[in-house]
Chains A and B, each alone.
Chain A
Amino acid sequence: MSATHDDRVPGYDAAPANARAETRSGLLVYTIGLFLAVILTATSFWAANTSLLWPPGVPLGLAVLAIAQMGVHLVFFLHITTGSDNTNNVLALAFGMLIVTLVVAGSLWIMANLNANMMPSPELLNLHMQH
């Protein structure tokens, strides 16, 4: 590593001439993101409190809303896009999400399976011994 001071962060070497215009479009991006995030959050809290919806479907709907909001945060706040200079970030994100899905879904699946195959409850055992 050389000790030069001409290091630049990718994405932050904007020329000063068009910095103003970029700031304005950046402001728009953050405002759109905030707007979408507020709508999605409010919908989530409303869905958890209302009795208008079909109760068994509510957790699934909440999960969909949460994933949508995570996507909004990624695009509008973290600026993860499919641009060519972003390939490594997107690949790392995709791999991370794969592992996260495996860990969470795999744990829930295996533990639910273990629970289902546990020793029968005492009532069932007593029933068995009566015969």
Chain B
Amino acid sequence: MTTLATTGDAFVATRDTAADSHGAAAASQRTAATPQFYVLDEHPHPAGYSTPLGFWLYIMSDCLLFSVLFATYGVLGGNYAAGPSPRDLFDLPLVAVNTTMLLLSSITYGFAMLAMQDNRAGRVQMWLAVTAFFGLCFIGIELYEFADFIRQGATPQRSAFLSAFFTLVGCHGLHVTVGLLWLVVMMAQVAARGFRDTVQRRLFCFSLFWHTLDIIWVGIFTVVYLVGIVS
């Protein structure tokens, strides 16, 4: 941004010398004879004005974290060390159920946001509870799957493939778990404070977080489970 901290006289003088080269536009500005100033200090924004953009930048950095884990899985995913391969381990119907759970929790959170626009607290609480229920189902199924793998001897230290698998999928599961805690906190805040602006802003940030986790799960079930079964 251009900043000019000059007094009127000096400003007009510099404009005069530049007028020849700048032609008609500069000349017409000179006839107005009122020097134009730019604000040096940043003007105040309302509180929380840039929160959605800042949170979106956080989401992007989280995508970077997952991209590194995806790259690790892509490099190491074929090193079974004579251990179990994806074909031996993965149970696609279970993954399909899990995918459905996360997709449903995503859509029900969208309904909660719509109810918030209508200012209906009871309905918001109901949809948040439904979202939390589906999220819990997702985590429960994932933990069951992990326990099943470990019972079969497919532990993270068995092979490079399993290390990368547990890191990638476990990191996503950890995000969903933290998201569930956040969801409970938001239910308490809506109950205690209603839809004041800060609460609305947090609900909006949570919607970014929750929908993004669903997007990352799309990548996981495709790259890890489906491509693992196919190849």
Interface residues of A (CB under 8 A from B): 1-12, 14, 16, 19-20, 22-23, 26-27, 30, 33-34, 37-38, 41, 44-45, 47-49, 55, 58-59, 62-63, 65-66, 69-70, 73-74, 77-78, 88-89, 92-93, 95-96, 99-100, 103-104, 106-108, 111
Contact = CB atoms under 8 A, between A and B. Distances in A.
A64 to B, nearest CB: 10
9 contacts: A26-B113, A26-B114, A44-B221, A59-B231, A70-B219, A73-B106, A77-B211, A107-B71, A111-B75
Contacts of B99: 41
B29 interface: no
A102 B110 CA distance: 32
Interface string B48-77: 110111001100110110011011101100
Contact of A96 (B51, B60, B103, B196): B60
A9 B200 contact: yes
Given A23-B117, A66-B222, A103 B214 contact: no
B158 interface: no
A109 to B, nearest CB: 10
Contacts, number: 158
Contact of B103 (A2, A34, A103, A107): A34
A34 B214 CA distance: 12
A48 B60 contact: no
B47 interface: yes
Interface of B (DSSP majority class):
helix
A14 B195 CA distance: 14
A62 B92 CA distance: 15
Contacts of A106: 71
Interface in B198-231: 198, 200-201, 204, 207-208, 211-212, 214-215, 218-219, 221-223, 225-227, 229-231
